[in-house]
Amino acid sequence: MLLSVDHVTRYRYDRPVRGVVQSHRLMPSKFDGQKVLEWSVTMTGGTLGSAFRDGAGDWVQGWTVAGPVDEIEVHVSGRVQTTDLAGVLRGHKELVPPEAYLRDTEATFADAALTEMAQIILTADSVLSGCHNLCDAISDAIAYKPGTTRARTTAAEALAQGEGVCQDHAQALIAVARAAGIPARYVSGYLQSGQDGVDHEAAHAWGELHVSGIGWIGFDPANRCCPDARYIRLGSGLDAQDAAPIRGISRGSGSEILSVTVAVQTQEQ
pLDDT at 268 over 80: no
Q: Is the pLDDT of residue 252 over 90?
A: no
Q: Evaluate if residue 136 carries a pLDDT over 80.
A: yes
For residue 196, the model assigns a pLDDT of 43
Average pLDDT of span 246-257:
90
Highest mean pLDDT pick, 14-18, 21-25, 67-71: 21-25
**Chain centroid, CA 18 distance in Å:** 30
Domain holding 125, by residue range, is 2-267
Number of domains in the chain: 1
Q: Where are the beta strands (DSSP E) in 25-117?
A: 34-43, 46-53, 59-82
**Angle at CA of residue 187, ends 216 and 1, nearest 5°:** 80
The pTM assigned to this predicted structure is 0.95
Burial of 36: CB neighbours in 10 Å, binned 0-12, 13-18, 19+? middle
**Which residues contact residue 115 at a Cβ distance below 8 angstroms, ignoring those fewer than 6 apart?**
176, 179
What CATH number is attached to the domain comprising 61?
Answer: 3.10.620.30
- Phi, psi at residue 216, to the nearest 5°? -75, 130
